[in-house]
Copies of this chain bind each other. A is one copy, B any other.
């Protein structure tokens, strides 16, 4: 049976954007929300925006998590929290996970507006993890989004730096009056 990817707390713009892109890439998506009805509504809207047979369902978070092989957890960016705490959202999430679940940090630098629709992006995704399998899965998913290159970002602790780049991108968006800032790394021997 094909794998299912849950996007927990996935009715916000970032979660919906990732659901949109991964469904377009042929993945079977289950959007999770605290209320199943909101998740189903978001799934329906996304399906309506995609030509052809996109597999996007909605469920409450618990049901979405229970049936998935891979779960994406999208966490709101908070500059405030980043200033108060040295670590990363990804590292904080580790402490909440049950045993046997591996984690990778990724996708932090892809803005929600870029993820909507189907225009190719021009961005790299740094994937940080202490678990090689989780890193591979995240890199494989990232590379399915047109115009995205997945890069090995090293250990999970590097996620704090990748998260801070999001703050820079938000600042660039403000100063240059766009919503499309992204990041690429140059000088690397990988396409």
Contact = CB atoms under 8 A, between A and B. Distances in A.
A102 to B, nearest CB: 19
A153 B167 CA distance: 11
Nearest to A176: B188
Interface in A35-71: none
A184 B181 contact: no
Interface string A141-175: 00000000001111000100110110111011001
Nearest to A123: B186
A187 B185 CA distance: 14
A172 to B, nearest CB: 6
Contacts of A171: 153-154, 158
A41 B134 CA distance: 51
A136 interface: no
A106 to B, nearest CB: 14
Contact-residue bracket for chain A: 35 or more
B161 A176 contact: no
A30 interface: no
Contacts of A152: 172, 175-176
B183 A189 contact: no
Given A162-B168, A168-B126, A187-B114, A154 B182 contact: no
Nearest to A188: B176
Contacts of A114: 187
Interface string A90-119: 000000000000000000000000100000
Given A158-B171, A161-B165, A180-B188, 10 more contacts: A86-B86, A122-B187, A152-B176, A161-B167, A165-B165, A176-B190, A181-B186, A182-B186, A182-B187, A184-B184
11 contacts: A122-B187, A151-B172, A158-B168, A161-B165, A168-B185, A180-B188, A181-B185, A181-B186, A181-B187, A182-B186, A183-B183
